[in-house]
A and B are shown apart, each in its own frame.
Chain A
Amino acid sequence: MNLCLVSRSVFLVLTFACTLVVPARAADEPGNKTKEQGTRAAEPFRPEPGKFPPLDKAHAYRGELVFVDHANRRGSLRVQGSGVFRRNDPNPFALLPYGMVRYHGAPADLRDIPLGTVMHVLAFLPPDPKTSPVPVLPVNSKEIDASHYRGVGIFPAENHVLLLEDEPSHCQRLGLIWKLHTVEVKEQEGMITSTRMPKQGGNPKPSVETMTFDASTRFWRGREVLNLDDLTAEGTWPTAGKKALGDQTVLLGITWKPTPEGVFTRFHVSDLWFDDASIQRAGKIQAETHKAFIRSRWMPAWVDSVEYGKFGRATVTATLFGGMDESLYADFKKDVPAMMNAAENTLKHAGGHYGPAQLASNGSLTGVTRAAADLLSGGSGIQIRFETDLIIEGLRPGRVVRLRPANWPLVEPPREEYLGFYFSAEDRFPKPDIFPPKRDPY
């Protein structure tokens, strides 16, 4: 079964094969063979301004998405540790400006991820603790036992996220699949035993994981969305009792729901994709949703340098952030008219009374250069040169900007996604106050 091939269109960071060094499949990229959850970087790493951090310095963990403040690109995760999962306070996180979200194997925004989804994380220490929008923890926080059967690792100080991805995205990126061993059904719910392993084989000691499912679990097969009743009616799964599934290869969407007291951690299957076609269709819908999102919010980038001219004229060199669908990057072409607007680390636009489009600097793309880029580098490998006659304070080296090539629709984002004419320091640098304090011990 040719399951879980990574869609080229979803994973290619750059276009034009003749000019690119592009991963044929992300899972084949050495740089993408990142650590599994629970793997710890030797030393906590703090990203430096103006540099995409090295991937091998990231701390990897996973957790349940519990809260989202998408307008400020932050939220909370209940991080999996070694103890009783339900007791773990949600741990706040913030996406780095170039941090990426992936859902169903495609680019996504935080707003696209359903609460309750178990996400895989690659994260670093806050680049600037003074302006962190989430609480700053001791750098060794992940090594501290949180006590009361919660264990270590549930409050990592590495809460500034480079990559946040759901289970199928994680498996596709790393070339993993789930093999189903047994299913046991009882009164419209049940349990499966399964193992996550490399698609090509080679994991000498894969561990068997038990997960629950119920009447709300979606089973995707080609164009069909089935429920448990459908599977039992056609005899694929038993109405009651246990059945061996012969190591059937699938992808799983994973969530969590409360477990009986004696069970420390057991996850729940929200979605199960039986074949390539079904996961590719899910990825396609998500990719299209994200493309429409980026076209209306503009491409994020940061400014590498500015060559100043006269009377407000300047040429800005900027690197586009990574992780988008390749068709979006393809719209950045030499000599195309464009707009560039100042933005914050939250990717919020600067704005005026009438919205960002009114305030942005007009100009044109005078150059587009493409270099090899790893999917997870944070950057796309694409640098653009943008000439404008309205160079402003927000378009300085190191600052985040958003760009719109002229063929993208000229629309205004919603009010909470840009700074108004009157804004405070807190609008630019959200405080962590929104997150409830941890109350010792739980």
Chain B
Amino acid sequence: MFLIPRPLFLVVVGSLVVSFHAASEEPRTKDPEPGTGPFRPEPGKFPPFEKAHAYRGELVFVDHVNRRGSLRVAGGSEVFFQHNPQPFAMLPYGIVRYHGAPADLRNIPLGTLLHVRAFLPPDPKNSAVPVVEKPSVEQPAENHVLLLEDEPSHCLREGMIWKLKEVDLHRNETKIIATLEPKAGGNGKPAEQTLTLDDGTRIWRGRECLAPADLVADGTWPTEGKKSLGGQSVQLGLGWLPAGTWENRVENQFHITDLWMDGTAMQRCASRQTGLHASFIRTRLMPAWVDAVEYGQFGRATVTATLFGGMDASLYADFKKGEQGVMAAAENTLKPWSSIVSSSHIASKGSILDVMREDAEPPFGSSGIQIRFETDLIIEGIRPGRIVRVRPASWPHVAAPREEYLIDHRTGLDDRFPTPAIFPRY
């Protein structure tokens, strides 16, 4: 149960795979040791994952077109409800995962508890979110995110599993006692955690979507009172509901929004999310950054670009030597420059001369895949260090919605570099 489906995690397919294996097998993706110092990514380099600050919080606000939002960060004080939402911005190569699959910010329901790996703003002057000058546990200065993932994605990547010890059903409040443990077992006794659930909790079993009442009806759970669950292995989706007051504190108690009872159920949700995101990327183009440009004559050039990581393998497989394609300039928000027709309309057309895959494990954020793209329309936006979006010819020629692209002189500086002004001060 809960073996990570390879297709969801492989970044590249075929025999030349440079993979992003199931993270449970990846020492690189283990949590960094506490006390890792703040790290500011450098332009043109994927930052080392182990230098990222790890925390988690509830998703409170999303501005998906600018790839930013706010999280209520857990930890620190006991009164979670009083923690001000903390703005964050995705790094251009930042990865979002939901239900164990690639995702976009728009796919994550508000209220979801997310795990974060983040850095200081690479360029504080152009930060799309406020730069934190007096950081604390609830207000980390590391608000530029390399990885944002929900609980099941986190557990699958880390090779962890929730074990249910006991359910205690009451009319007004149901609680579950569970432990989070390495799937492969390990030493020590993990701490028991108390989580709430209610009749809005979705329970996934094979192809079924059940409610707690269904488990009561089939005798799996008692009508009322406690029952030992014997360490049943599951995956949990977590959120937060108000609990406690200033006087009556319940610390950071989280709420079960989803419970996957078996691997099949988890894989089906992951498969759906994978399809959703693959369709999203095919219509918005693959993000990448430009490593080098070899200039020719009369506007001709060969661009070497690294595709960003974290996508479904099938998307990378569409980048083939000899394939035609288009490349559009984009911003750090991944918004492409476009025309009134579509981003492909003013994008530079050309062909993919080569597709190179690193033998070594790529840094997090990178796919490990470089393409060489020849065009006869090299433009200002396609310079080393700049973000671009690339479409192989096999992807549909469609146009993004209005808020997701920039257009000629009508684009203001605020459109290219969103200011933090939209975030309220508390």
> A260 with B198: in contact, given A225-B209, A414-B81 (CB under 8 Å)?
no
Chain A residue with the shortest CB-CB distance to B411: A439
A220 to B209, CA, bound (A): 9
Contact B275 A214 (CB under 8 A): yes
Inter-subunit contact A86/B81 (CB<8 Å): no
Whether A412 touches B244, Cβ cut-off 8 Å, given contacts A261-B397, A288-B200, is yes
What are 19 A-B residue pairs whose CB atoms fall within 8 Å in the complex? A67-B63, A71-B61, A86-B401, A86-B402, A111-B111, A215-B275, A225-B209, A258-B400, A259-B398, A260-B396, A261-B342, A285-B199, A288-B198, A354-B246, A358-B245, A412-B245, A412-B246, A415-B81, A439-B410
Residue of B whose beta carbon sits closest to that of A435? B422
> Across the interface, do B279 and A214 meet the contact criterion of CB distance under 8 Å?
yes
Contact string, A189-224, partner B, CB cutoff 8 A, digits 1/0?
100000000000000000000000011101010011
- Neighbouring A residues of B280 by C-beta, 8 Å: 257
| Residues of B103-143 whose CB lies within 8 A of A | 106-107, 109-111
B81 touches A413 (CB 8 A): yes
Known interface pairs A288-B199, A442-B402; A415-B64 also in contact (CB < 8 Å): no
Q: Which residues of chain B have C-beta atoms less than 8 A from A410's C-beta? A: 245, 248
User: Is B298 part of the binding interface, using a Cβ–Cβ cutoff of 8 Å?
Assistant: no
Point out the residues of chain A lying under 8 angstroms from B21, CB to CB.
Answer: none
**Residues of B with C-beta under 8 A to A292:** 198, 200, 241
Supposing A188-B275, A440-B410 touch, asked if A281 and B424 sit within 8 A by C-beta, the answer is no
**Complex interface residues of chain A between 428 and 442 (CB less than 8 A to chain B):** 433-434, 436, 439-440, 442
Given A223-B214, A260-B397, also A296-B241 (CB < 8 A): yes
B175 at the interface (CB under 8 A from A): no
Quote the shortest CB–CB distance from B241 to chain A (angstroms).
6
B30 to chain A, nearest CB (A): 31
Binds B, one of A87-95, A128-136, A157-165, A381-389: A87-95
Of the candidates A87, A216, A284, the one whose C-beta lies within 8 Å of that of B211 is A284
Interface residues in A, total, Cβ within 8 A: 65
Most buried by B among A148, A258, A427: A258
**Closest-CB distance, B86 to chain A (whole angstroms):** 11
Contacting residues of chain A (74-111) with chain B, CB-CB under 8 angstroms: 78, 86-90, 111
Q: Report the minimum CB–CB distance from A117 to chain B (whole Å).
A: 11
| Distance of A112 Cα from B272 Cα, bound (Å) | 19
Chain B, 396-426, CB within 8 A of any chain A CB: 396-403, 407, 410-412, 414-415, 421-422, 424, 426
Say whether B242 faces chain A, with CB atoms less than 8 Å apart.
Answer: yes
Residue of A nearest to B206 (CB): A224
Instruction: Give chain B's interface residues, CB within 8 Å of chain A.
Output: 58, 60-65, 72, 79-85, 106-107, 109-111, 172-173, 198-200, 202, 204, 207-211, 214, 240-248, 268, 271-273, 275-276, 279-280, 283, 340-342, 396-403, 407, 410-412, 414-415, 421-422, 424, 426
Main secondary structure of the interface of A (DSSP, over half): mixed
Task: Out of B85, B107, B207, B211, name the residue touching A281 (CB < 8 Å).
Answer: B211
Q: Give the nearest-CB partner of A414 in chain B.
A: B81
When each residue 272-310 of chain A gets 1 if its CB lies under 8 Å from chain B and 0 otherwise, what string results? Answer: 000000000100111011001000110000000000000
Distance of A185 from chain B, by nearest CB (Å): 14
A86-B340 contact given A230-B207, A288-B199, CB 8 Å threshold = no
Closest chain B CB from A105 CB (angstroms)? 15
- In the complex, what distance in Å separates the CA atom of A289 from the CA atom of B199? 7
Alpha-carbon gap, A304 to B62, bound state (A):
36
Q: How far is the CA of A224 from the CA of B280 in the complex (A)?
A: 26
What are the residues of chain B within 8 A of A115 when measuring CB–CB? 62, 64, 106
> 11 more A-B contacts (CB under 8 A) besides A258-B398, A285-B202, A409-B172?
A86-B399, A89-B402, A148-B340, A224-B209, A227-B271, A260-B398, A261-B399, A411-B244, A412-B81, A434-B422, A439-B412
The minimal Cβ–Cβ distance linking B272 to chain A, given in whole angstroms, is 5
* Cβ distance B391 to chain A, nearest Cβ, rounded Å: 12
> Which of B63, B172, B200, B426 lies in contact with A415, CB distance below 8 A?
B426
- Alpha-carbon distance A411/B243, docked complex (angstroms): 5
- Interchain CB contact under 8 A, B81 and A111: no
- Which residues on A sit within 8 Å (CB–CB) of B424? 416, 427
A contact residues around B403 at 8 Å (CB): 66, 89-90, 436
Q: Are A415 and B85 in contact (CB under 8 A)?
A: yes
Task: Kindly provide the distance from the CB of A71 to the nearest chain B CB, expressed in whole angstroms.
Answer: 8
A397 within 8 A of B: no
Partner of B242, one of A111, A286, A412: A412
Given A258-B399, A258-B400, A415-B82, decide whether A354 and B245 contact each other with a Cβ distance below 8 A.
yes
> Which of A214, A289, A442 has the most chain B CB within a 10 Å cutoff?
A289
User: Please, which residue of chain A has its CB at the minimum distance from the CB of B82?
Assistant: A415
Q: Is the CB of B426 within 8 A of A227?
A: no
Contact status B402-A88, CB under 8 Å: yes
Cβ B421 vs Cβ A433 within 8 A: yes
Known A86-B399, A296-B242, A427-B424; contact A258-B283, beta-carbon cutoff 8 A: yes
CB distance from A359 to the nearest CB of B (A): 11
CB distance from A439 to the nearest CB of B (A): 4
Assuming the contacts A90-B402, A258-B283, A260-B398, asked whether A355 and B246 have C-beta atoms less than 8 A apart, the reply is yes
Q: Which residues of A contact B106 (CB under 8 A)?
A: 114-116
B78 to chain A, nearest CB (A): 12
A12 to chain B, nearest CB (A): 18
What distance in Å separates the Cβ of A423 from its nearest Cβ neighbour in chain B?
A: 9
Cross-chain contact A281 with B209 (CB below 8 angstroms): yes
Interchain nearest-CB distance for A148 vs B (Å)? 7
Inter-subunit contact A411/B245 (CB<8 Å)? yes
- If A89-B402, A89-B403 touch, whether A216 touches B272 (CB-CB below 8 Å) is yes
Determine if A335 is an interface residue (Cβ-Cβ < 8 Å).
no
Most buried by A among B58, B63, B214, B399: B399
Q: Does the CB pair B275–A69 fall under 8 Å?
A: no
Q: For B279, what are the chain A residues with a Cβ–Cβ distance below 8 Å? A: 189, 214-216, 257
Contact yes or no, B60 A416, CB < 8 A: yes
**A116-B106, A258-B400 known; A414 vs B60 contact (CB < 8 Å):** yes
Chain A residue nearest to B80 (CB atoms) is A414
Tell me the smallest distance from the CB of A290 to a CB of chain B, in Å. 8
Contact A442/B200 with A355-B81, A414-B72 known, Cβ cut-off 8 Å: no
Q: Which residue of A lies closest to B204 (CB)?
A: A225
Residues on the B chain within 8 Å of A416, using CB? 60-61, 84-85, 424, 426
Q: Could you tell me the distance in whole angstroms from the C-beta of B34 to the nearest C-beta in chain A?
A: 26
Please state if B84 and A223 are interface contacts (CB–CB under 8 Å). no
Q: In the assembly, what is the distance between CA of A96 and CA of B198, in Å?
A: 29
Give the nearest-CB partner of A263 in chain B: B398
